Amino acid sequence: MTIMAPLDCELAAGVPNVDDYLRLRRVAGLDERSSEAAAAGLPNTWFGVLMRHEGPVVGMGRIIGDGGCFFQVTDVAVDPGHRGKGLGQCIVSALAPI
């Protein structure tokens, strides 16, 4: 299955850096995390996607898990200035295609 991002955005596999992760969580209204927690947790991502608009990261999503039985989609966030374009749906579809 091919996931198509909106024309003005680019979807790519990857994990955000700590600054982008913390910023997106904050602006999307998710619980805030410390820099230390983000730095410890992000490298343990099983799979992640980033949505970019003209360079900057405007959306993200990650899959975390125990490596055997359980995996969870988490940290799906879209910058409010880019909502309403289907970015969230695109991110979730890339993480868990049906």
**pLDDT tens digits, residue range 55-96?**
999 999 999 999 999 999 999 999 999 999 899 999 999 998
Cβ 72 vs Cβ 63: under 8 Å: yes
| Residue type for position 23 | R
Cβ 91 vs Cβ 82: under 8 Å: no
Domain locations along the chain: 10-95
> Looking at the predicted structure, is the pLDDT value of residue 6 above 80?
no
Distances 91 to 34, 40, 51, 72 between C-alpha atoms, Å: 24, 23, 8, 14
Please state the pTM of the whole predicted model.
0.89
**Three-point CA angle 56, 60, 65, nearest 5°:** 145
Cβ 61 vs Cβ 73: under 8 Å: yes
Residue 8's pLDDT is 80
Cβ 12 vs Cβ 2: under 8 Å: no
Residue 7's pLDDT is 67
Residue 9's pLDDT is 87
**Three-point CA angle 73, 50, 21, nearest 5°:** 75
**pLDDT tens digits, residue range 12-45?**
999 999 999 999 999 999 999 999 999 999 999 9
> Looking at the predicted structure, is the pLDDT value of residue 3 above 90?
no
> Looking at the predicted structure, is the pLDDT value of residue 1 above 60?
no
- CATH code linked to domain 10-95: 3.40.630.30
